[in-house]
Amino acid sequence: MIEGTVAPGFEDVREAFELDHGGGAQLAVHQHGEPVVDLWTTGAGDRISVTMSGTKALVAICAHLLAERGDLDLGAPVTHYWPEFGTAMPVAFLLSHRAGLPAFDLDGEDLLDWDRCVAALAALTPAWAPGTAFAYHSTTYGFLVGEVIRRVTGTTVGRFFDEELARPLGLDLWIGLPAARENRVSPIGPNRTALAELLTTRAGRAAEIPSANGIGDARSLAKLYSSVLNGLLKPATLDRACTPQTDGLPTPAVMPHPQRFSLGFELPRSASPLLGPASFGHAGAGGRLGFADRETGLAVGYVCTHSGWNPGRGPDERWLPWLAALSRRRGG
């Protein structure tokens, strides 16, 4: 059963959401800064969920906010902020998966040790000359960009996100979940990786693993992306943040649905079409999704407990009906 509300004119989105989500799910949409859709399956209304790789966009927004303030130069060498980092490259390469550091030998409980992770990355030899290719930095992205943010601000990326974005905007969204919020966490669903297993534990949710352990609700994702569209970042900052960085570059990862990245965001692609070329955001394993569309003014958050979606197979079938309904607002 579906509960919640929609604004007049969005009734078709509710109808499109009435399908089998494989468990609990939430869908929230803002348009031009106003909430227009707030839906959930029975029992999921007050729950919070692990956003998996959707967390990467939260980290990117922090970096762009610092760049806009003049505290972080995305074109500067990483070593300007992180002297121990062993390879010459600009910060922008970390944000756009062009660093040549897509993986390391740490996993599972190793990821709870921030200092160990960033020291390993600083010492790692890139798999390709930075900037000449790209591949998804699935786990390493959060430590790479997060450590730059820590060096710039003197605080962790999770704390910076909480103090500068989540609390001022009134979001139920964290990177590193407070113990008092544990009773609201929804299960992740079937898990096949050491990282996903880690995120079923209190230790994994309490730590900061900023590629994957953002935890919150769909309302907060939609509100965050809506804020980005409506003044949180200046238009020039958003233009830069959304500029494609990987189009035309080779990738060692052969996929039926190639990935596309700007500076920290996923761009529309066959496995995640969003609402078209003006969209930017980030999906997460299992079907989590947050994004905004600059043409329609729509900002969307979708979270779920089921973890069956694999982006290599194409778009999550649960997205398609309500994405089609939202697409009809183009030009609205």
Task: Identify any residues that bridge with 212 across adjacent strands, giving them in sequence order.
Answer: none
Torsion of CA 113, 82, 244, 212, to 10 degrees: 10
- Cα–Cα dist 240/323, whole Å: 26
- Cα–Cα dist 29/326, whole Å: 9
3-state secondary structure of 332: coil
Phi, psi of 62 (to 5 degrees): -60, -45
- Cα–Cα dist 83/230, whole Å: 36
- Cα–Cα dist 276/281, whole Å: 12
Q: What is the CATH number of domain 2-53+178-192+214-327?
A: 3.40.710.10
For 72-188, strand residue ranges (E) read: 173-175
| AA letter at 29 | V
% the chain with pLDDT above 90: 87
Q: Looking at the predicted structure, is the pLDDT value of residue 332 above 60?
A: no
pLDDT score of 32: 97
Q: Which of 171-185, 209-223, 297-311 has the lowest mean pLDDT?
A: 297-311
Rg (the chain; Cα; Å): 18
Q: How far is CA 12 from CA 4, 276, 297, 324, in A?
A: 14, 19, 18, 10
3-state secondary structure of 27: strand
- Cα–Cα dist 145/138, whole Å: 12
pTM of the predicted model over 0.95: yes
Phi, psi of 154 (to 5 degrees): 80, 5
pLDDT score of 45: 95
Q: Mean per-residue pLDDT for 304-309?
A: 77
Domain boundaries, the chain: 2-53+178-192+214-327
Q: How far is CA 92 from CA 40, 86, 298, 325, in A?
A: 37, 16, 27, 35
For 244-277, what is each residue's pLDDT tens digit? 999 999 999 777 788 999 999 999 998 889 999 9
Residue with tokens 């830069």: 240
For 73-118, what is each residue's pLDDT tens digit? 999 999 999 999 999 999 999 999 999 999 999 999 999 999 999 9
Strands 279-284 and 214-216: unpaired
Walk across the sheet containing 173-175 and list its strands: 49-50, 214-216, 173-175
- Cα–Cα dist 208/197, whole Å: 15
For 1-38, what is each residue's pLDDT tens digit? 999 999 999 999 999 999 888 889 999 999 999 999 99
